[in-house]
A = this chain, B = another copy of it.
Amino acid sequence: MTSVKINPDLQKERDSCTFNTEELTNFFDAGDKYTRKRRELENKIFSIKELKDEIPDEYLSHKEKYENALRKAVLLLKALKKIGYSRNFEDVHKSSFRESIHTGIFKDGSPFMLQYSMFIPTLQGMADEEQKRRWLNRAMNFEIIGTYAQTELGHGTFIRGLETQAIYDEKTEEFILHSPTLTAYKWWPGGLAHTANYCIVMAQLIIKGKNHGMQPFIVQIRDEETHMPLPGIKVGEIGPKLTFSGVNNGFLGFEHVRIPRENMLMKYNQVLKDGTFKSNPNSKLTYGTMVYVRVTIVFGAATQLARAVTIAVRYSAVRRQSRPKPNEPEPQILDYATQQHKLFIGIATSHAYTLLAYWLWDIYTSFKKDLESGNLDRLPELHSLTCVLKVVSSKDCTRLVEQCRMSCGGHGFMMSSSLPQIYGLATAACTYEGENTVLLLQTARSMVKALDQATKGKPLSPTMAYLGERSVTTKWENSVDGIVKSFQKVSIGKLRAAVSSLKQYERSGLSPEDAWNKSSVQLISAAEAHGRAVVMSVYKSEIDKYASTVSTGLKTVLYQLVELYAIYMVLQKMGDMLLYGNLTEADVTVLQRRYEELLELLRPNAVGLVDAFDFRDEVLSSTLGSYDGFAYERLMEEAMKSPLNAEPVNQSFEKYMKPLMKGKL
């Protein structure tokens, strides 16, 4: 099997595509220059033999998976160094999000992930100049390997509840790090188990019995020569997880571990020798990082979905099944409207969240400039906006990744399809970096405030401005712009209903906290509706913005997708639309019909659309989704890599089965 040959069913699809897929790829990469750059890097890295797995990871033991991931992580660094590639943490371009070499090499995460994503950025953001000189360069050169430890066994999203203590001893000018309980053990940090020798530890700073809140401390946890855990450090791994087998997540406990005063990261808040605590309001500047992380989560959700839908659409083009018309061959399953219904929304949703992430990125960069000039005004809005967008992107993409998996029938259940792993990676984002329900409640809190402000005639932040609009009982409008407005009406309607319930509970004698809790099911639903209103509106306005810059062929299909997305969401949220958006039964019939028409219009371009995501086979890593479309051949090829298949008879036969069969048990 050479990859020059293409499955004719797939070739036929490519031949009949009506737009230029390369143009769409360039659009995603934010310019053809970046497409070229990305492909050059991919060509170099993916041609390195040592980075390919002879035996797929899924066959290995948990321990072997870690060892293999670490081996590849080190070899990858070496290769990147050799080709002169350096990851610039401070000047990230939009196109950086599209880098796929890590996904292609670590199907299930790398033990160095936190070095890049948290250890170095935290040093950059929170260490003072002296501290940077001590640790930052060493970290950039991988002379030390670090991670970031915040979450504990007993607490996650609720940060104030964290228990690890850093008690200042002014006599020795040291902090004493201590885990007073089992639940105070750090739990989850990537790379912490057996990889990192340094760690940024978030702990409650206590000076002379007074708690000064969570502060960051840099702690050496293992000897640099022997890698043995240092005295008083209890460190190890937390065991297997749904995914991220290569990440080496660990636990960490302290038994009165002393570190010098200079190991608290002191760019903002400081502890002087005598124990004086100097707090700096600019410490809020570090919230910029949080916004950045959420942009990457939105983009990541869109990317995992794009991978899943690429696999599912290609497989649906080569899979043939059933015979609705007796004298015709079995159709490609992509011809079934029910299959199109499962998949095309995946393409549209991935577009929506990609554009949203880029939009959010532009906001973030302008916000960073504000921050640098000390202006924190937009922080609350950005906080509640990124909360809800993190929630809806992770939630929708997870659901649709799973829909893609299930659309591939039994074969989607095979690990070699990569769909189960993609699901694991996608769903994790619903929990990490702020649990989704907790984040929705935070957005709800600011919506309730905004409604109150509006009532008092005060101005609202741009993304919540619509909440202040008087409800007008305008007629339903069956256009995408009309649908954008109706999403806003739904958000307003649900917020008002929730607030009315909240007030009723308060009037009935409940405390504000209990009334809030009783109404919280409605409040999170209102917050989600706000998120959907933002996504719908940004998706449409971004497409409008770019429409004039692309060719007619591409423009047509981009608008078909945004319309499909709008109608799909209306039909999904029909109840809300009927209650608050003035939708009628007649409109539903019209929309349903138009939806069915759009499925048909998009059908010939489905393969082109997923090709345009431009994932190399190494990045998809899927028997079902390879570019050449030889799904069945690849399923068999992968199965033959099983160590179980290396022997015709497994040792268990003589040991257990034969005695059983011979009645000798």
State the A residues within 8 Å of B (CB).
Answer: 56, 58-64, 66-67, 70-71, 74-75, 77-78, 81, 141-145, 151, 153-158, 160-161, 182-183, 185, 187-188, 193-195, 224, 226-229, 236-243, 251, 320-325, 330, 335-339, 341-342, 402, 406, 409-410, 412-416, 420, 427-428, 430-432, 435-438, 441, 497, 501, 511, 513, 516-522, 524, 573-579, 585, 588-589, 592-593, 595-596, 599-600, 632-633, 635-636, 638-645, 648-653, 655-663, 665
Contacts and interface: CB of A to CB of B under 8 A. Distances in A.
B161 A322 contact: yes
12 contacts: A74-B665, A143-B663, A158-B322, A158-B330, A194-B653, A240-B415, A336-B520, A402-B427, A406-B430, A409-B435, A413-B428, A573-B575
A661 B58 contact: no
Contacts of A338: 437, 441, 520-521, 524
Q: Which label, helix, strand, loop or mixed, suits the secondary structure of the A interface?
A: helix
Given A71-B652, A325-B511, A578-B578, A518 B236 contact: no
Contacts of A501: 592-593
B62 A58 contact: yes
Contacts of A592: 501, 521-522
B59 A665 contact: no
B657 A70 contact: yes
Most chain B CB neighbours (cut-off 10 Å) among A153, A413, A432, A640 = A413
A158 B517 contact: no
Contacts of A579: 574, 578, 585, 588
Contacts of A660: 74, 77-78, 142
What's the number of copies of this chain in the assembled complex?
2
Contacts of A665: 74, 77-78, 81
Q: Please give me the 10 A-B residue pairs with the lowest Cβ-Cβ distance, nearest first.
A: A574-B575, A575-B575, A58-B240, A61-B61, A242-B420, A74-B656, A240-B415, A236-B645, A227-B653, A59-B62
A515 B161 CA distance: 59
A632 B187 CA distance: 11
B649 A226 contact: yes
